[in-house]
Structure 1
Amino acid sequence: MLPTIKPKNARSKRALVKRSSKVIENPKNTIFIRGSQTSQVIQNVLKDLYSLKKPLALNFSKKNEIHPFDDETKLEFLCNKNDTSLFTIGSHSKKRPHNLIMGRMFDFKLFEMFEFEVKDYKSIEEIKGKTCASGIKPLLVFSGEPFNQDDTLMKLQNFFVDFFQSEKTDSICLTGLEHVISITVDPSASTPPPTSTVDQQQNYKLYIRSYYVNFLNSGQKLPRVELEEMGPSIDLVTRRHVFPTEETWKKATRVPKELFVKKTKNITHDNLGNKLGRIHVGQQDISKIQTRKVRALKAPKVNEF
């Protein structure tokens, strides 16, 4: 458990308020940590993922003795100190070669994490072609039936959406859609757990591909779209994972009451933000309506005898 920090002055108090929970949260930052032993493949993977996440990313290039599956306190300390909700750790050992751990925090406590083995990898530098600018919001494409059937892959899909998203926007320009990330699961390459072991899960193989979007002239109003592989190209095999409890999941996905807009009857808003109201009135007798008194329209007097 991390200790509760009490502010000593106004400056530290403002910093704590900035990190505290909000109705509309800030974009999540990601910390990339290099383990005590890493291979060149893992270092290149961390470098390319860091380039995709910039500017919402922080890279630790020095070696760190960190093992989150055994003890998560050091990881929670680093995430709390650097105000990062997402993390990626790369390591390499004889037991777990080319190991990649990705996860996220909730209230600076470990929420969930996934462990992968990097199989086939091509960096951005190896794939020649166009590259998108830094900070571009990517389009995510998930392919494969297990994403809708397996509980682990459903949570993994939710994590990747949270990991690759950047600042939330209400609208986006068409020319700003330059980056597409495709994540495909291969059900035929999955390995079922052995029957003799306990607490083993089925391993899936994921194909992560990154593409650059080319808008070509089509002779019409809408351009012709072609995808060009940009890199990185990563094949991941799932290993261990840690999921949150049901109570923690409900706390993390709870929507604040301030975001629920109470609908007022007969009141609407247009695209410019103007408030419009609708008034219902009863049936009116036109003969009794007070109008302008014009002498020509005055009813003539009737002489009585």
Structure 2
Amino acid sequence: MLRVVKPKTKQARRALEKRAPKIKENVKKALLLHGTSTSAVVKGVLSDLHHIKKDGGNAVHWTRKNENIRPFEPAGAAPLEFFSKKTDCSLVVFGSHSKKRPNNIVFGRFYDNHVYDFMELGVERYKSVKDHGGARKFSPQVGSKPCFAFIGEAFESDEKCRQFKEMMLDFFRGEEVDRINLAGLDRVFVCVATATKVLFRHCAIRLMKSGTKVPQIVLVDVGPSLDMVFRRNQTPGEELRKEAMRTVSKAPQKKIKNVSSDMMDGKVGRIYMPKQEVGEIALKKMKGLKRERREAAAALPDGERKDEARKKLRQNDEQ
């Protein structure tokens, strides 16, 4: 297992703080890797999933073979937990191929670098992004949010379909945001549940002219397209599920000095203003506004003040 090493530099300390538990977690990263033996279909599926997920560096794709990985065995899942901790990935997609289970894809999730659940699917039909011409037809915008469409009652009633729905939402959701620009909704993942299969399609959203203000929405299949059958699955225990779903009701907020909230005014702040002596402020003053002349003028009686004022006006007129 990995050694627990204390950070010696600021960069290492920041990296550990980034991996530490938070109230609002980071975007879930996915690790895609191969088993001992794979097929061209499995390699193509992993490559296309990495192409969709890699925006923002949220996917790690290993192309070399990895031995002794058996996700549904207690000892066989230990390498995946090790890789999860090493790469800081909470999602995994494992591809393998054998005579008993051809074109096998395993989706998995981790909680605290330990196995949370697994789902095994067999690919019966596959059409890649290149076969659809997706590189020419569609290029997703950076930071765009996908739509999800789950068609079929099985996604609410069947246990495996519900688990598949949760897997897809976790895998493709990306960063959580408060507001969405409708112009950024440029793609949709369509999943259709049948009796024994699930059909997965990735479509681009095209807005066509309709003759009205509301455009006509057209879905263009850009790949990958997968027809998959359910095989094995592993669900988490009740205690583990409660621990993973536990949330904090409200994030603790640091108290800001001299700032309070009011029901009517909202956010109210107080500022400190020292006593200001206007007479002592260093400003550009006229010759007649000097402090000595003001004080001397203030000491004169009212009649003499008027005489002095008339004299100054007369001098100004002469000049």
What is the TM-score normalised by the length of structure 2? 0.74
Asked if structure 2 preserves the Cα contact closer than 8 Å seen for 1:54 and 1:134, the reply is no
Aligned to 1:165: 173
Question: What do the CA deviations read for 1:46-79 (whole angstroms, capped 9, x no partner)?
Answer: 0111111012111001111122222111000111
User: In the alignment, is residue 46 of structure 1 matched against residue 46 of structure 2?
Assistant: yes
Give the counterpart of 1:95 among 97, 100, 107: 100
Aligned to 2:19: 19
In structure 2, the CA distance between the partners of 1:216 and 1:75, relative to structure 1 (3 Å rule), is same
Aligned to 1:62: 64
Identical aligned residues as a percent: 36
The letter of the residue matching 2:63 is S
**RMSD of Structure 2 on Structure 1 (CA):** 2.3
Aligned to 1:144: 152
Alignment of 1:102-117 (within 5 A): 102-117=107-122
Asked if structure 2 preserves the Cα contact closer than 8 Å seen for 1:31 and 1:86, the reply is yes
Structure 1 residue ranges without an equivalent (≥5)? 191-204, 277-305
In structure 2, the CA distance between the partners of 1:40 and 1:3, relative to structure 1 (3 Å rule), is closer
Aligned to 2:226: 234
What is the TM-score normalised by the length of structure 1? 0.77
* Pairwise CA distance, 1:134: 6.0
User: In the alignment, is residue 72 of structure 1 matched against residue 68 of structure 2?
Assistant: no
* Pairwise CA distance, 1:147: 0.9
Alignment of 1:1-305 (within 5 A): 5-11=4-10, 12-55=12-55, 56-65=58-67, 66-70=69-73, 71-128=76-133, 130-133=137-140, 135=142, 136-187=144-195, 190=196, 205-259=197-251, 267=263, 275=267
Q: Comparing 143-152 with 215-224, which one deviates more in the overlay?
A: 215-224
Asked if structure 1 preserves the Cα contact closer than 8 Å seen for 2:107 and 2:167, the reply is no
| Structure 2 SS opposite 1:160 | helix
Q: How many Å separate the matches in 2 of 1:53 and 1:226?
A: 23
Asked if structure 2 preserves the Cα contact closer than 8 Å seen for 1:52 and 1:134, the reply is no
Q: How many Å separate the matches in 2 of 1:164 and 1:13?
A: 29
Structure holding more helix per residue: 2
Aligned residues: 253
The letter of the residue matching 1:138 is P
Asked if structure 1 preserves the Cα contact closer than 8 Å seen for 2:141 and 2:184, the reply is no
* Pairwise CA distance, 1:6: 4.1
Q: Comparing 110-119 with 2-11, which one deviates more in the overlay?
A: 2-11
Q: How many Å separate the matches in 1 of 2:211 and 2:40?
A: 47
Structure 2 residue ranges without an equivalent (≥5)? 254-260, 269-319
Q: How many Å separate the matches in 1 of 2:121 and 2:52?
A: 19
- Pick the structure with greater CA Rg: 2
